[in-house]
A and B are shown apart, each in its own frame.
Chain A
Amino acid sequence: MIADLRFALRVLWKSPAFTLAALVTLMLGIGANVVVFGVVNAVLLHPLDVSDPQNLYQLRLGEWTSGKLLTTSYPAYEDLRRRNNTFSEMAGFDGFAEATLRWGNTVKSVTGYAVTGNYFEMLGVQPQVGRFIQATDEHGPNSAPYVVLSDQLWRSAFSADPGVIGTTVRLNKDSFTVVGVAPARFHGTEHFDRPDYWVPFVNWNQQFLQNRTSMTVTVLGRLKPGVTPQQAAENLSAIAAQLAKEYPQTDTGMPLRLVRPGLQGDAGDVIRGFLYSVAGLALLVLVAACANLASLFAARAADRSRELALRVALGASRWRLVRQLLAEAMVLSMVGGAAGLVIAGLLLRALDQWQSPYGRLAVSVDARVYLTSIALTIVSALLFGMIPARQVSQSSPLQAMKSGPVDSMPLRRFTLRDLLVGAQIAICTLLVTASLVAVRGMVRMLHAPLGFQPQGAILADVDLSEIEQRGDALLEKQKAMLEAVKGIPGVATAGAVNRVPFTGGLRGIPVFPPGTTDFNLNNSVLAPYRFTISPGYFEAAGTRLVRARDVSWRDTTNTPYVAIVNETFARKMWGDMPAIGQRFILLDHLREVVGVVEDGKYHNMQEPPQPVVYLPLTQSEQRGLVFVVRSPRAHNEMAPALERALSGLEPNALIKVQSWHDVLGGVNALFPARASTAALGVMGVLAVMLAVTGIFGMAAYNVSRRMKELGIRAALGARTKHVMSAAVGRPIVLLGLGSLAGLLLCVLASRLLEHIVYQANPRDPLVIGGVVLTMALLGIAASAIPAVRALAVDPSKLLREE
């Protein structure tokens, strides 16, 4: 065995170019797979850091619900918890709590969770300092003014001081006593969330605790032993139906189902689909790499067939020869795999540090990743080592020794090696198509109309939640702020909105027809997103007003309530009828449509056209506002001027100024498209590299082995085209056939692609054209050098060599 290995090393050392090419191929193939597996491992396979994660479930409404984590109202949560007989415990949280933290001189924007008192107990985590919020803390409204800090916030804002326990901090206007710090590993039940703090629901907004229509509680539960998720879901759905009877005004009785917590509810399906599909493609890259190596190895084995036959004749057993070839494959594979693991480790570390829009990925190279890469390495070695070994073990030594060509069977025109190269090209085509589809999707998204113009606009996010004024006084203040902003020299237009698109937090608000008396959700006719705007917002945002007028300061609570809708809203409600003058009930008021604006994107780029309603700030109180400012002046001049103007009017307000472009970049608007384009782009490039080396290897090998034959052909009158077709004809034909097969595969695999790219369409003529062009260029690139060598063949010289 040792002798085999030593000999393998010597053989590989003697052909450094071959060895290097093989190593790089393996490194890329295995490296790519380890990276993808590392991410899959971290995101999908890693259990949550809570006790007994396997019986922990999250409740979802029966249908796909937008708004991500929201399922239940707080009262409904309590009903579900009390009445069910399938869960041993149930807890709830609201992951959308944002606040301004004040402690000493520190002022910080933080995000946290509101949780039920039994949240930590149910999850079974232990605090690293102090204690957690407990069920026994809760005795009705405002009874538990306690906050638990995350390890990260504790370190960043409190310098990891254990003495912080017992001190009082302010979150917005309310004071909370710090009772404990969560361990560093614990960040709730969502993989991508990193809450800064946890506070009890009972100390949160009191209104909300009684409101049965505010569905902001995400419910987690632990199944009783022996209960299936199916049984539990039926149990809960029955309770929901019961609740709908008891509270016909508010509860819809929508059936409930259970999902695994961790991946933003139903987004988990999308993320899982994406990651598994990418993993599938990565495996294809490795298969292509192995096909590549197998054909190289088979070629070498064929070249050495005389040597190997001689060894058999001298008494070597076939098994020894096979073992020796496998030893070579193993040595290569081990070194390549190790290099791949090193590169993958570096990449994973970089990914670990990277702040994705979903939050930190927290990938690490653990034992499972190591084991996987070892398994991949061994399987690859067997895959590409077996084929030549089989060839050797089947060939007859006498035949091999007697003459050059190993066999003269009728199938000689289509050898195993051809098949390998063809398969590799087919896979490459598939991957190239996939990456082009992704790039197309990305481009389409970048060019999709947003419904606003972020370029050249500046956003000033002003939080007025700590300001005492209410009603008209608040409105006056906001109007004054807007006037101040408009007064800044160089400001062309300015307006305000409660939140800009793509910053989340959007939820459908029910619309009822005029005359509705029973405001049961089942009677609502539409659930548009709602924005609250000041006059001038559309102009500042660059949103086109299609018909009629903007909102005005003259629309007040004493004048008729008005609304502006987007085109989708108008079409869904009234079809071809003019929307202006139509009425509907929304948020307790009958409103009249006074304007229609163009459609846009609001939540993410993939969403279908969404109905949207805009309410005037004058008729819909709003504490937090984002001022949208458009100015020809440079951002770095405008930003300080804006901040000065706004804080001059309200020194206590928390103000954040950013260009709209940066705000968009920081949110996950384009993240899915970017991620898929990046992932598929890398796969595509790897595939192209493999295909080039594969075709080049074959063509170069062909030409070098057939120099003499080409010389004879030239002497017999072969012209350029004949020599070319003899030299590189076969690889080119294989390229054509392989590409065709790949394109067909792609059409068949478009469902797989749809997991990765939104509306993937491999039949897009531009994509097909791009693939054909890529493959053609690749063929030219890979066969140019061998072809030139073949053309330079000099018969008079070659023929005398014998």
Chain B
Amino acid sequence: MIKLKNLERSYPLAKEKFFYVLRDINLEVEEGDFVSIMGPSGAGKSTLLHILGMHDHGWRGEYFLGGTAVHHLKPKERATLRNEQIGFVFQQYHLLDDLTVYENLDIPLSYRHYKKSERAAMVADMLDRFQIVGKKDLYPSQLSGGQQQLVGVARAIIAEPKLLLADEPTGNLHSSQGEEIMELFCKLNEQGMTIVQVTHSEKNASYGKRVIQLRDGWIVKGE
């Protein structure tokens, strides 16, 4: 599904000097895998995930997604590919404050080619699956943190991505709420979704099939 070759990411420091966040990353993730990326703060985990999620384009190296050479794609083509294949769960939920739960779920669909009726059905289905039908007209500020993250996950998978990227999806949650989300991930994985998550917790990592350790931009374990 994912293949990274000699991928590196750096930020310019002073003149002519660069600060390397990721160095010489080589990584393969099979379809149906469930990978947990771990490492100390500042190791580059989020950076790697944003590269995978094609939010960040300032890297060098090779990135194949399902056989497509992402590094050869133009920004527009990348956006199309991302919209087709990837869902993203943010660490800070990042729900849109001015929109209701229902509307938040509808956004990704509105950016893809779905008919109005289809969209309504998909949102309804998702609300049902996550048991938040009763909350559909509330605003994010009226939800608890766990509920918000549930909506965040629902929003990430509503457009039926093949690959789910999650940046510390349980970071701000109670452990019971975290477990709920991890169990959901397992279920999604069983249904065939490839998942890459960033996590600090060994427990969460144990839900996955394998662990990759990042340190100072290097993969130190689990290539």
Contact = CB atoms under 8 A, between A and B. Distances in A.
Contacts of B28: none
A412 B98 CA distance: 9
B97 A799 contact: no
A802 B139 contact: no
Contacts of A708: 94
A719 interface: yes
Interface in B22-74: 46-47, 50, 53, 55-56
B10 interface: no
Interface string B85-118: 0001010101011100000000110111000000
A717 B141 contact: no
A800 B112 CA distance: 25
A799 to B, nearest CB: 6
Contact of B94 (A405, A796, A799): A799
A404 B96 CA distance: 11
B83 interface: yes
A708 B53 CA distance: 17
Nearest to A714: B55
B162 interface: no
A408 interface: yes
B88 A715 contact: yes
Contacts of B46: 800
A713 B107 contact: yes
B155 interface: yes
Contacts of B88: 715-716
B82 interface: yes
Interface in A708-731: 708-709, 712-719, 722
A408 B46 CA distance: 33
Interface string A693-719: 000000000000000110011111111
B92 A717 contact: no
A712 B55 contact: no
B79 interface: yes
A796 B55 contact: yes
B90 A799 contact: yes
Contacts, number: 61
A715 B87 CA distance: 9
Contact of A404 (B92, B94, B97, B108): B97
A709 B96 contact: yes
A402 interface: yes
Contacts of B92: 799, 802
B49 to A, nearest CB: 10
B55 A405 contact: no
A136 B107 CA distance: 96
Contacts of A405: 97-98, 139, 141
B136 to A, nearest CB: 14
Contacts of A715: 53, 55, 88, 90, 94
Contacts of B53: 715
B96 A712 contact: yes
A711 to B, nearest CB: 8
Nearest to A403: B141
A717 B110 CA distance: 9
Contacts of A714: 55
B83 A717 contact: yes
A795 interface: yes
Given A403-B141, A709-B96, A712-B94, A719 B79 contact: yes
A717 B108 CA distance: 6
A542 B85 CA distance: 80
A794 B55 CA distance: 8
A22 B56 CA distance: 39
A488 to B, nearest CB: 77
B60 to A, nearest CB: 16
A794 B110 CA distance: 20
Interface string A493-516: 000000000000000000000000
A412 B100 CA distance: 12
Nearest to A408: B139
Contacts of B107: 713, 716, 718
Contacts of A408: 139, 141-142
A92 B172 CA distance: 95
A405 B95 CA distance: 13
Contacts of A719: 79, 111
A718 B107 CA distance: 9
A422 B143 CA distance: 34
A405 B142 CA distance: 12
A714 B78 CA distance: 12
A261 to B, nearest CB: 64
A718 B96 contact: no
B50 A717 contact: no
A715 B98 CA distance: 17
B55 A799 contact: yes
A702 to B, nearest CB: 11
- Nearest 7 A-B pairs (CB), nearest first? A796-B56, A403-B141, A796-B55, A717-B111, A717-B83, A796-B50, A795-B55
15 contacts: A403-B97, A403-B141, A712-B96, A715-B53, A715-B55, A715-B90, A716-B108, A716-B155, A717-B159, A795-B50, A795-B55, A796-B56, A799-B90, A799-B94, A800-B46
